[in-house]
Amino acid sequence: MRGVNRERIIRVLLNTPDGTLTKYRVAKEAQCSISWTMEYLVKLKQLELVEGTKVLDIHELLTYWAKITRKPMRLEFFHHDPDQILRDIKCEFALTTYRAENLTNNYLFPTRTDIYVHQKDLNVWKQAISKGGLVGKGNIRLLISDSHVFYKKKRVRGLWIVSAPQLLLDLMMEGGVAREAYEIMVKRYVRQN
């Protein structure tokens, strides 16, 4: 659980990097104990990544996050119309990597639709995809991770996408051309914050 809590705290800090959140608020938003949050903020301060709750270097904190993150469980599928599934599904989801980057930055061609879903909804997703699709490497990847991955998700052109920091992390972790998209997006994110 400590690994999950570290990621939750970092996600909260990167979503409000200006230091306006109190330490208590960070703990509440991260759904962590105040004592654990305080202890971890001290560690991040020792690494010179934060001062209080202010992020000193967004790119460096994202790089640190990439080193400690746990990769989500992945299931792969092929479906001729991922958009139809996304329009019809009644479960919570958030897009990331290629598709989310294309909706927000329009640099990458959305060759694959990566979707964070809840573990409890996995059978619903499998049924929806299998109606017109196949199991195995394809154009849809379901990602199962800590539910906090949905923190600060936003709606873009009718679809839910992860928060900007989560998208940046996922692009960095994806590598290749996704890393190029990360480099473009992180500069803009730093300027905005």
Domain of residue 15 covers 2-68
Q: Are residues 81 and 53 in the same domain?
A: no
Q: Are residues 95 and 123 in the same domain?
A: yes
**pLDDT tens digits for range 97-107:** 999 999 999 99
Per-residue pLDDT band for 3 (boundaries 50, 70, 90) equals: confident
Q: Are residues 61 and 81 in the same domain?
A: no
pLDDT of 54 strictly over 70:
yes
**pLDDT tens digits for range 150-190:** 999 999 999 999 999 999 999 999 999 999 999 999 999 98
**pLDDT tens digits for range 123-140:** 999 999 988 777 888 899
pLDDT of 2 strictly over 80:
no
Q: Are residues 105 and 58 in the same domain?
A: no
Split into its structural domains, the chain has a count of 2
> For 18, which DSSP code?
B
CB 162 within 8 A of CB 170: yes
Tell me how far CA of residue 105 lies from CA of 23, 83, 111, in angstroms: 32, 19, 15
Q: Are residues 82 and 174 in the same domain?
A: yes
CATH at 36: 1.10.10
Q: Are residues 54 and 134 in the same domain?
A: no
pLDDT of 4 strictly over 70:
yes
Q: Are residues 103 and 126 in the same domain?
A: yes
